[in-house]
Structure 1
Amino acid sequence: MNLENAGEDVPTEERRVEFRDLAAQSSYQELMSDLGYINRLLLDVRSEVLGAQNSRLAARNGA
Structure 2
Amino acid sequence: MNITRSWREQKVMLKQRFSILSDADFAFEEEEQEDMLNQLAGKLKKTRAELKLIFAELQTY
Which is helix-richer, 1 or 2? 2
Q: Which has the higher contact order (CA 8 A, sep 6+)?
A: 2
- TM-score if structure 2 supplies the norm length? 0.31
- TM-score if structure 1 supplies the norm length? 0.30
